[in-house]
Amino acid sequence: MSGNIEHLFSASGRALLGLYFFLAGGLNKMFNFQSHSDYMAGHDINLIPFLLTTTMLFQLITGATLIIGYQTKVSAFLLASLTLAISLGVHDFWTMPAEELQTAHETQNFIKNIGIVAGLLVCVGLGGGQWSLDNLISRELQRN
């Protein structure tokens, strides 16, 4: 593959992961706060207003930094850690009866999140790529 296509795929993947956290994570929690609170209460989670607000702000900020490729490795690592923690704490399908629809729902969410963690770990390993703010800053610092 040519370099520009590889840069396009790298930047697109990174931006799509960031958009997922910014839109489906942060903004979704902001506009559907009560339904997320109810879902967390159903999983016996304590300190829901604090945890939900913190997670919402965290996903908005780190999602945006991932989109633009700023502090990519740190943002991706933090999001991977959060996603893994949420998966283990909330999508605990192994504690549910196998025949229930909710079990299938939680299993699907858990597996989806592990795939997202995998993509984030690629960003941790490779960084923001050629088309990122990280790369632009690095080039500017080398020039000065």
DSSP 116-136: HHHHHHHHHHH-S-SSSHHHH
Cα–chain center distance at 83 = 6
What is the structure's pLDDT at 41?
93
Domain with 71 in it? 3-143
Write down the pLDDT at residue 144. Answer: 79
Of 89, 95, 22, 18, give the one whose Cα is nearest residue 51. 89
Give average pLDDT by consecutive 10-residue segment, the chain, 144 residues. Answer: 86 97 96 95 93 97 98 98 94 88 92 97 96 93 87
3-class DSSP state of 9: helix
Q: Which two structure tokens, joined as six digits, stand for 98?
A: 């196998």
Domain count along the chain: 1
Give the per-residue pLDDT at 47. 96
For residues 76 and 99, give the distance between their C-alpha atoms in angstroms, rounded to a whole number.
Answer: 35
Q: How far apart are CA 30 and CA 52, in angstroms?
A: 9
Tabulate helix, strand, coil % of the chain (nearest 5): 80, 0, 20
In this prediction, residue 38 carries a pLDDT of: 95
CB 107 within 8 A of CB 114: no
CA–CA separation, 124 and 128 (whole Å): 8
Q: Which pTM value belongs to this model? A: 0.92
Q: Which amino acid is at 111?
A: I
Contact (CB, 8 A) for 72 and 132? yes
pLDDT at 1: 59
User: What DSSP element (H or E) covers 85?
Assistant: helix 72-90
